[in-house]
Structure 1
Amino acid sequence: MGRAEDRRARQRGGRRAAPKRSSGTGTGTATGTGTATGTGATTGTGSVTGTRAEARAAAGGKAGRKAGGKAGAKTGIRRFFTWKKVVGTIFGMILLGMAAFVGLYLWIDIPKGNAAAQLQSNVYKYSDGSTLTRDGDVNREIVDLDKIPKKVQLTYVAAENKSFYKDSGVDFRGTARGLINTLSGKGKQGGSTITQQYVKNYYLSQDQTVTRKLKELVISLKVDRQKSKDYILAGYINTSYYGRGAYGIQAAAQAYYGVDAKDLSVAKGAYLAALLQAPSQYDWTSATPTGKRLVKARWNYVLDNMVEEGWLKQSDRQAMQFPKPKDPKGSAGMGGQIGYLVDAANNQLAKQLVSDGTASDINDAKALVDKGGWTITLNIDKKKQAQLEKAVKTKLASKLNGKKRKVDDAVQAGAASVDPKTGKVVAMYGGTDYLKHFTNNATRRDYQPASTFKPLIFAAALDQDAKTQDGRSITANTIYDGTSGRSVKGSDIAFSPPNEDDRDYGNVTVQRAMNASINSVFAQMGVDVGMDNVLKTAGNLGLDVDGLQAVPAQTLGTMGASPLEMAGVYATLDNHGKKVTPSILASAEHKDFSVTVPPPIGDQVISEEAADTVTSVLTGVVNDGTAQQSVSQAANRQGQHVAGKTGTSDNNKSAWFTGYTPNLVTSVGLFGENPKSHAQVSLSGATGLLPGVGRINGGGYPAQIWAAYTFSADTKSTKFVLDTKQGAAVEPTETPTFTEKPSETPSSTPTSAEPTTESPTPTSESPTPSETPTTSRPTRTPTRTPTSTATDGIPEDPVQPNLQ
C-alpha cells in the first residue's frame, strides 16, 4: 500500500495519511527512537523500525510537494494558452473568416454599371456667371474585341495580368496587400487582376476603402464565373482612362496616333497598354525626362512579357522601335482661348482634389474631373479677356506672316493677368488657337524668364539686409561696378557674365543697373546676398525653385518659369510682400464632391518695405529704362503708376515684360518654338526685323502688348502707396530729351553725376556707355532713337535692343 499512499499524499500536497488500523483489536505507537510496539487481538507480535517508516513518509512528502508545484503552475497562464487551444483558436478564426466570406458572396450581387461609367458634361462659366463653354462630348467609343487585333489585345494581358486566361479573376495576395495598405494609410497599391480593374472601372469607384476592395473581390469572382474572358477583357480595354480625355482604346488610338483601334500595331498597342499605369505622367509629348524613361521601360516590359509567354516572336520584338505619339489636339468646342482656360481650371481643380484627399493622386483626380458632372466657375473677367486677346492680335499677330518669313511661324505668345489684391487670374492668353497649338503658353515653364529675375535678387538683398563684399548695405543707391565680364568676388564658382553687347558701364547705382539691366551688377549682388538666400526669397515670392542649384549663373534668370508664375511673383511685390498665389478657379460644384478653393492671398513673405522698395526701383525701368518707349510713352496711358521689368533670354529664344499698376499685374512672354519639332529657336528676324540687329526683346512687343492691354483694362489713375524712401518712385531720375536726328551710337559723356540720380537710357532697351558718377547732375542728350514710327503712341521694336 505504500505506493498507493504516496500517490494519495501527492494529491493532498505531499502529506501522507496515517496507517489504517487492522480489523483486530490492538494499539500501536511509534517513537522517535525508531521503534514501534503494538498488540492486538490477533496472535503474534511484530515490530517495525521507526527509521523505515519515517523514510517512506519523507519520500512521500517530497514527491507530493513536487506534484503540487506542477499542479499549481497549470492553474496560471498555461491553463489558458495551451497548444491545443492556440491551434483551435486559429482554426476557428479561419472557419469564421470563411463563413463571413461565404456570407458576403451570397449577399453581394453583380450591380448594374455605375453612373461613373456614363460620363457627363462639365459646364464652365466666366466670373460673371455667363457660360464660357460646355465640355459635353464624351470622348469614348466602345469597340468589339474582334475589331482589335489579337496581339494588341495581348499587350494588355502582358502589361497587367499574364495569368488572366488561367486565374479565377482575383489576386488574393495582391488584394490582401491592398487591404493592409489601405488600413495602414499607405494609399493604393498595384496587384489587381484585369477582372478586378474592370469591376472597379465599371461597377464600383476609385475610392480606396476596405468596403470597396471587399466588394471588388466578391464581384470579380462572380463576374469571372458568369462572363467570358473576352467579355471581361473588352470591358477593361473600353472603360479604362488613357489621358488626353480619352476613355477606351478607340478614343486613345485616335488621341495618340490618329488611327482606329483596328489599325493599331503591336508596338502602338503596347504603348497604350503601358500608358494605363500613369496616363498623365506617361504622355510622351508632355512627360518629364523621368516620365519618358519610365514609360519606355514599361513599353519594353510589355513586349518582353509577350515574348516570354510565346505571344510574340523574338525577331519581331527586336525589330520594333518605340512609337512616339502625335501631339495632342483639343476637342471640338475648345477653339481659340477657351481650351487653354478650361485646361488651366481643370488642372487647378485636380490638384485641389488631391490636396483635399478626394483623389489619391493627380491621375485619379484628372479622371474624376474628366468624368463630368461639374459646374466650374473661373475668375476670368470676360471683358479683360477680350482686351488681352485684342492686344496680342493688334500688337503682334497682325505683323506675323509665315508665308514671307519662316521664323514668324515660330513666334508663340503667352500672357497671364492677375488682380494683386485678390489673387484672381482675370485674363489669360495661351496661344494662337487651342486646336492648333495645344500647349498653354501662359502656364508652360520651359523658357527662361531672363532679366525679369533681377528684381528678385534685389528683393532678397533688401529683405535680408545684405551687404556688399566691403560691408556696405545694399540699397537702391549702392554703387556697383558695371564693367562687362567682370569676375564676381566672393564666389567659390568662377563667373564673369558679359553685359548685353559687351558694354561697360563703370560705377553705377543699383537703380541705374536695374534701369539698364546690367548683368555684371546683379551677378555680384547675387553672390553678396548668397545664392541660397536668393533662391529662398524667390521661392517665398512664388517662383518654383525646387531642384535649382544655388549658383551665380541663376542671377541671369536661367531657370524655367511661366507667365502665370511670374505674374504671381510680381503680384506679391505689388501686394506689399503678402503672398499671392494666382487662382483661375473661383468655385467647383459637383453632386458627389465638395471642393473648397483656398484663398489666393497668403502670409507676409518679405517685409513690406523690401517689397515697396523693389516696386519703387522698377518704376525707373518704365520711366527711364528699357521699357520707357513702349510703356511710359504709350498714348493710352492715363497717369497710372507703373512698375515692371523687361527680359530677353540667351540667343533671343524668349522675350518678356512683367509689369504692374496698383490694380493689375500682367506678365507677357514671347517664345521661339519650331512648329514641327517644338525645339526652342531664336526669335531674331521675326516680323521683318533685320536678323541679328532686329531682335525681339522685352522692351519691344511684350511691353507693347502689356501697355495696350493694361491701359485699356485698368483705366484708374491710381498711384502706388509705398513704405520706402528709396528708388525712382520717391527719387525720380531725370527725364531724357531726344535730339531730332541722333546718331546710331550714344557718344555723349556726362559732365558730372550723382550716384542717386543716374541719367536714364534713351531707348526702350538700349543703355548708354559707361559713366562714372561724380558730384553733380549730368546733362546728357541721347543720340539714338528707334528707327520706326510709333503707332497708337507705342513705338515699334528698336533696331538695337538690349536683350535684358
Structure 2
Amino acid sequence: MGDNRIGKRNISSHKSAPRRCGTVNEELTPRMARRPIRLRVPRVDYPRKGRSGWRRWVPSWRQTGGGALAGCAALAGAFVVVYVSVEIPDENAEARRQGTVYYWADNSQMVSVGAVNRQNVTLADIPDSVEHAVVAAENETFYEDSGVSLKGIGRAALSIVKGGETQGGSTITQQYVKNTYLSQEQSAKRKVREFFISLKLSNQRSKEEILQGYLNTSWFGRGANGIQAAAHAYYGIPAKDLNPSQAALLAALLKGAEEYDPAGGGGNHARAVERWKWILDRQVETGAMTRAERDTYQEFPEPRRTAKPTSLGGQTGYLVDIANKYVKKRSGLTDKDLARGGYKVHTTFDKAKVRALEHAVRKVRDRDLDPKKRAEDRHVEVGAASVRADGAVVAVYGGADAVTRFVNNADTAGVPVGSAFKPFVLAAGLQYDDAVTLESGFDPSGRLVKVAVGGVPVGTPGVRADRGARPTTLYDALQKQGNATYTQLAKHVGLDKVKELAVRAGLHESSLARLDKSFPLGTSTPSAVRMANAYTAFSNRGLRAEPYAVTGVTRDGEEVEGFEKPVPQRAMDTEVANNVNSALSAVAWNALTRDRQLEALSSPDLRAISAGTTGEGDRMRSAWFVGHAQDTTTAVTMFRTKPDTPQLLGMQGVGGPDSGRGNVFPQRIWTEYVTGREDPSGAKHPVDEG
C-alpha cells in the first residue's frame, strides 16, 4: 500500500504540473505582449565611434577586408552566372553571310560583292612556317594561355571609358571568336561576350582546332578570307606551297590588309617590308626559326600586283574602291567588316555619266594614240573624276580595268598638276591683297602695277604705250601659261597664303609640294577627285563641300551613322571666285578653239563653261584639263608610267608632234564626255555588268 501511495502522489504531482505551468504562462503572456520583441542585429561601427574628424570615415582593416571578400564573392558569383549563361553560337552562321550590295544614285543595283572567297583547309595542308609566323606575330603565348588576354580586355575597357574605340591586343582565340561568332560592332558588350566565349572555347577545343579555324576565317585583304584564298590572291599558289618568307608577309596582313598590302598606296609597301622583317626576326626570338634559316630570307617576297574578283572589273572596281574609302572614313568600318557582307551601300555615282566618261576615254585613245607605231604612246594612263557643286562624286574613270590595274587613277595622288594649279595662285592674290586685280601685272622691277586699257601701267608716267612696255596682266598670263607672272604673284602674296587657299578649296595638304619657287607652277600632286572638287569653288561663288561618294549605309535594316550630306564651306570671297571663274572661262574658250573642239559643243554645253589646263609651257610629266559645264566639274589627267615603276615617263611626243606634249588629249576627253554621245558600237560596257 505504501508503494501505491507514493505512486499516486507522484502521479498527482505530475498531473498538476501542467496547470501550474499554464498559470505561469497565463501570467507572463500579457506582460510579454506589452513589450516589443527586439532582434539583436550586429551593428556596423561606421562612422566609427571613438574617432574624430576624418578618421571616423576611414574603415577599419576588418571592415576593409570584409568588404573586399564580399566584393570578390559577388564578382565570382557574377562570373559563374555569366559563364554558364553564355553559349557558343552556331559557327555555321558564318557560311550564310550575305553580300555587300552597292547601288547607283538612282537606287538600281550596281554590284553585289557577295560570294565569300574562302576555301577551308586543315592544318595538315598548312605549312608549319605559316603557323609559326602567325603565332609569333599575333599571339606568342597561344599554346600556353587560357584563350583570353586580361591586358587586352583592360586596355579595351579603358578606351571605352575614355570614349574611344575598342583596342586590339586580343589572343588568337579571341580573334577567331570575333571572326566566326560575333558581329564586328566596337562595343563593351561585344567585348565581354568575346571574352567568355573565348574562355569556353579554349576549355572545350584543342589549340590545333582553334588555330585551324582562325586561319580559315581571317581576313587577308584582296577579297580573301582564310589562308588558302590569301595564298592564291597574293602568290597564285595553294597554302601548302607557301615558303616561310611568303608566310611572314601573309602574317603581316593580319594586322590590317588595307595598310600592309604592298600593292596599296600611302606607304603600304614600306610598312609591309618592315613588318615582314620583324615577323621573321620574331620567329628567331621565339625559337621557331634558326638564325641561319632567317638569314636565307633577305629578299622581300613581292606578291602579285592585283587579284580582284571579276565582278569588280571595268570601272566597277574603282567605284567600289572609292565608296569603301568613304565608308571607312565616315563610319569606322573596315575592309574586313565590309567583306563580311550584309551591308547596303547607296552611292552618288550616276550610271549614265560613268558610262559616258569611260566611252570618252576609250574613243580618244583609240582614235588618237597608236602604241603599235609610236613608242611614246605606250604606257599611257588616264584618270578622271566628275563632281557636282554639292561635293557629290558622280563619275570616275580609274583606268582601263580594275582587275588588271589595281591603282585607281581617279583617286590617287602622285601626278603633278602643272598650270592647272595657277587658278589657286590667282585666287590667293585676289583674296589676300586688295591691290591685286585681273588687270594687275609686274613691271620689269618686279613691282605690282595695274595695267590700264591701252597697255600703259597705271602710275608710271613716261612709260611707252607700245606692246613691249606693257606688263602681262594676271588675266592674260593665265591664258598664255605665263610662268614668270605667276611665280612673281605667289612670291608677292606669299607661298604660305597660296597653300592656305588651296587647302581651303579642298586639296589635301599632304598632296601639296614643298614651298619653293616651283610651287606656284604646279609641282603638287592632287588626285583628279580633289582637283575637280576644288574647282567647284570657282564656279560656285566661293563655296565648296567635301567630296562624298555615299549617301547612306544600312545593315539588317538599320542605318549606319555618319553619312550626313557635307555642309558647304566658304573657301574664298564670292567676288574672288567670280573673277577667277571669269578668267577660266576665257581659258576654256581659247583651249577648245585652238584644238577645234568648240564646234563639237552645243549651245547648252557652253553655258557657264570654264576650265583650267596645262599647256606646252609646262614641263611636268603629265597633262590636265579641269572643265566646268552643265553644273558639273570634271578633272581629266593623262600620264605615262610602267608597272612597278614609281617614276613617271615623259609626255613629249605622245600622240605625235602636234599634241602639245599630250595636253590636247585631256580636253578632248572632256569634250567627248560633256557632249554625252552614245557609243555607236552599242557594245556592252563593263560598268553594265552586275
Larger radius of gyration: 1
Q: Of 86, 91, 100, which residue of structure 1 is paired with 2:78?
A: 100
The answer (yes or no) to whether the contact 1:583–1:600 under 8 Å persists in 2 is: yes
Cα separation, 2, equivalents of 1:533 and 1:335: 42
- Look up the match of 1:63: none
Cα separation, 2, equivalents of 1:88 and 1:327: 65
Specify the code of the residue in structure 1 equivalent to 2:364. Answer: K
The answer (yes or no) to whether the contact 2:166–2:187 under 8 Å persists in 1 is: no
Specify the code of the residue in structure 1 equivalent to 2:59. Answer: F
Q: Of 347, 351, 356, which residue of structure 2 is paired with 1:387?
A: 356
The answer (yes or no) to whether the contact 2:105–2:346 under 8 Å persists in 1 is: yes
1:200-251 C-alpha deviation (Å, 9 max, x unpaired): 1111233332222222222111111111111100111111111222211112
The answer (yes or no) to whether the contact 1:410–1:683 under 8 Å persists in 2 is: no
Specify the code of the residue in structure 2 equivalent to 1:366. Answer: D
Q: Secondary structure at the match of 1:680?
A: coil
Q: Aligned in 2, Cα 1:535/1:705: closer, same or farther, shift over 3 Å? A: same
Q: Of 513, 533, 536, which residue of structure 2 is paired with 1:568?
A: 533
Q: Which has the higher contact order (CA 8 A, sep 6+)?
A: 2
> Where do residues 550-569 of structure 1 align in structure 2 (5 Å cutoff)?
550-569=515-534
Specify the code of the residue in structure 2 equivalent to 1:684. Answer: Q
Is residue 647 from structure 1 mapped to residue 614 from structure 2 by the alignment?
yes
- Look up the match of 1:440: 408
Specify the code of the residue in structure 2 equivalent to 1:308. Answer: E
Q: Of 607, 621, 624, which residue of structure 1 is paired with 2:587?
A: 621
Q: Secondary structure at the match of 2:568?
A: strand
- Look up the match of 1:378: 347
Residue 695 of structure 1: CA displacement? Answer: 4.6
> Where do residues 401-550 of structure 1 align in structure 2 (5 Å cutoff)?
401-420=370-389, 422-466=390-434, 473-481=435-443, 507-546=471-510, 548=512, 549-550=514-515
Cα separation, 2, equivalents of 1:203 and 1:125: 28
The answer (yes or no) to whether the contact 1:576–1:611 under 8 Å persists in 2 is: yes
RMSD: 2.8
1:719-775 C-alpha deviation (Å, 9 max, x unpaired): xxxxxxxxxxxxxxxxxxxxxxxxxxxxxxxxxxxxxxxxxxxxxxxxxxxxxxxxx
Q: Of 288, 295, 316, which residue of structure 1 is paired with 2:293?
A: 316
Larger helix proportion of the pair:
2
Q: Aligned in 2, Cα 1:547/1:567: closer, same or farther, shift over 3 Å? A: closer
Is residue 607 from structure 1 mapped to residue 576 from structure 2 by the alignment?
no
Specify the code of the residue in structure 1 equivalent to 2:547. Answer: P
Q: Aligned in 2, Cα 1:384/1:170: closer, same or farther, shift over 3 Å? A: closer
TM-score by length of 2: 0.82
> Where do residues 625-636 of structure 1 align in structure 2 (5 Å cutoff)?
626-630=591-595, 633-636=598-601
Specify the code of the residue in structure 2 equivalent to 1:480. Answer: F
The answer (yes or no) to whether the contact 2:551–2:564 under 8 Å persists in 1 is: no
Residue 116 of structure 1: CA displacement? Answer: 5.5
Q: Aligned in 2, Cα 1:78/1:383: closer, same or farther, shift over 3 Å? A: closer
Is residue 577 from structure 1 mapped to residue 542 from structure 2 by the alignment?
yes
1:390-436 C-alpha deviation (Å, 9 max, x unpaired): 2212222343333333443310011111232x433232211111222
Cα separation, 1, equivalents of 2:567 and 2:629: 18
Residue 286 of structure 1: CA displacement? Answer: 1.5
> Where do residues 623-772 of structure 1 align in structure 2 (5 Å cutoff)?
623-624=589-590, 626-630=591-595, 633-638=598-603, 639-647=606-614, 651-661=619-629, 663-677=631-645, 679-687=647-655, 689-690=656-657, 695-698=660-663, 700-712=664-676
Cα separation, 1, equivalents of 2:65 and 2:589: 88
Q: Aligned in 2, Cα 1:454/1:78: closer, same or farther, shift over 3 Å? A: same
Specify the code of the residue in structure 2 equivalent to 1:388. Answer: L
Q: Aligned in 2, Cα 1:281/1:587: closer, same or farther, shift over 3 Å? A: same
The answer (yes or no) to whether the contact 1:182–1:188 under 8 Å persists in 2 is: yes
Cα separation, 1, equivalents of 2:566 and 2:611: 22
Cα separation, 1, equivalents of 2:109 and 2:49: 86
Specify the code of the residue in structure 2 equivalent to 1:545. Answer: E
1:265-322 C-alpha deviation (Å, 9 max, x unpaired): 1111111111111211111121433x44433332222222211222212111011022
The answer (yes or no) to whether the contact 1:178–1:190 under 8 Å persists in 2 is: yes
Q: Secondary structure at the match of 1:350?
A: helix
Specify the code of the residue in structure 1 equivalent to 2:571. Answer: V
The answer (yes or no) to whether the contact 1:683–1:695 under 8 Å persists in 2 is: no
Residue 329 of structure 1: CA displacement? Answer: 2.9
> Where do residues 137-536 of structure 1 align in structure 2 (5 Å cutoff)?
137-289=115-267, 291-320=268-297, 321-354=299-332, 359=333, 365-420=334-389, 422-466=390-434, 473-481=435-443, 507-536=471-500
Q: Secondary structure at the match of 1:73?
A: coil
1:516-537 C-alpha deviation (Å, 9 max, x unpaired): 1111111111121111111111
Specify the code of the residue in structure 2 equivalent to 1:516. Answer: K
Q: Of 576, 590, 595, which residue of structure 1 is paired with 2:555?
A: 590
Q: Aligned in 2, Cα 1:265/1:124: closer, same or farther, shift over 3 Å? A: same
Q: Aligned in 2, Cα 1:309/1:525: closer, same or farther, shift over 3 Å? A: same
Q: Aligned in 2, Cα 1:589/1:552: closer, same or farther, shift over 3 Å? A: same
The answer (yes or no) to whether the contact 1:448–1:558 under 8 Å persists in 2 is: yes
Q: Aligned in 2, Cα 1:561/1:110: closer, same or farther, shift over 3 Å? A: same
1:527-565 C-alpha deviation (Å, 9 max, x unpaired): 211111111111111111148544443211111111111
- Count of residue correspondences: 607
Residue 580 of structure 1: CA displacement? Answer: 3.1
Q: Aligned in 2, Cα 1:293/1:416: closer, same or farther, shift over 3 Å? A: closer
Q: Aligned in 2, Cα 1:551/1:116: closer, same or farther, shift over 3 Å? A: farther
Identify which range, 257-266 or 629-638, moves more after superposition.
629-638
Residue 188 of structure 1: CA displacement? Answer: 2.6
The answer (yes or no) to whether the contact 1:143–1:238 under 8 Å persists in 2 is: yes
Q: Secondary structure at the match of 1:656?
A: strand
1:427-452 C-alpha deviation (Å, 9 max, x unpaired): 22111112222211111111111111
Specify the code of the residue in structure 2 equivalent to 1:629. Answer: R
Cα separation, 2, equivalents of 1:266 and 1:588: 40
The answer (yes or no) to whether the contact 2:441–2:485 under 8 Å persists in 1 is: no
Cα separation, 1, equivalents of 2:575 and 2:92: 57
The answer (yes or no) to whether the contact 1:482–1:520 under 8 Å persists in 2 is: no
Q: Secondary structure at the match of 2:472?
A: strand
- Look up the match of 1:784: none
Cα separation, 1, equivalents of 2:77 and 2:610: 74
- Look up the match of 1:782: none
Specify the code of the residue in structure 2 equivalent to 1:538. Answer: A
Specify the code of the residue in structure 2 equivalent to 1:139. Answer: N
1:690-744 C-alpha deviation (Å, 9 max, x unpaired): 4xx855343x011111112213379xxxxxxxxxxxxxxxxxxxxxxxxxxxxxx
Residue 505 of structure 1: CA displacement? Answer: 10
Q: Name stretches of at least 5 consecutive residues in structure 1 with no aligned partner.
A: 1-69, 360-364, 467-472, 489-503, 715-804
Residue 582 of structure 1: CA displacement? Answer: 3.0
Specify the code of the residue in structure 2 equivalent to 1:566. Answer: M
Cα separation, 2, equivalents of 1:526 and 1:202: 57
Q: Aligned in 2, Cα 1:382/1:314: closer, same or farther, shift over 3 Å? A: same
Q: Name stretches of at least 5 consecutive residues in structure 2 with no aligned partner.
A: 1-47, 449-467, 679-690
The answer (yes or no) to whether the contact 2:511–2:526 under 8 Å persists in 1 is: no
Residue 608 of structure 1: CA displacement? Answer: 1.1
